[in-house]
């Protein structure tokens, strides 16, 4: 798959609900979501030559929890590893949205 600054696709509400509920049903002990503040996302987005953001799945062995690591990607498709890395996101449970259709019961 070729990547560029338009990679990704908006999906319908029905697809979003199905994807999140199916994941939560199949992985009841996993975090449901992660929250990142808009200022942190903006800092990532404001990097020079940024084409997009890559999201890595990670594991924090000190706290025994999964996590996500976000890094900028340059116009050649390379991770901007000398720049910013965003982690320490707020996971759900703990920071779950109230009454979100994306959180299964």
Break the chain into its structural domains and give their ranges.
Answer: 30-92
Structure confidence by residue, pLDDT tens digits, 79-100: 999 889 999 999 998 888 888 9
The structure's pTM equals 0.88
Structure confidence by residue, pLDDT tens digits, 42-80: 999 999 999 999 999 999 999 998 999 999 999 999 999
Which residue, 38, 40, 34, is CA-closest to 67?
A: 34
Contact indicator for 68, 91 with CB cutoff of 8 Å: no
Which pair of structure tokens corresponds to residue 29? 């002990």
């Amino acid at each position: 798959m070729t990547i560029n600054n338009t990679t990704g696709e908006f999906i319908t509400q029905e697809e979003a609900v199905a994807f999140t509920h199916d994941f939560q049903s199949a992985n009841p002990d996993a975090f449901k979501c992660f929250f990142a503040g808009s200022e942190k996302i903006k800092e990532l987005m404001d990097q020079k030559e940024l084409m997009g953001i890559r999201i890595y799945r990670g594991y924090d062995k000190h706290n025994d929890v999964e996590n996500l690591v976000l890094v900028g990607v340059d116009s050649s498709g390379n991770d901007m590893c000398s720049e910013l890395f965003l982690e320490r996101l707020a996971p759900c449970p703990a920071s779950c949205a109230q009454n979100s259709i994306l959180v299964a019961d």
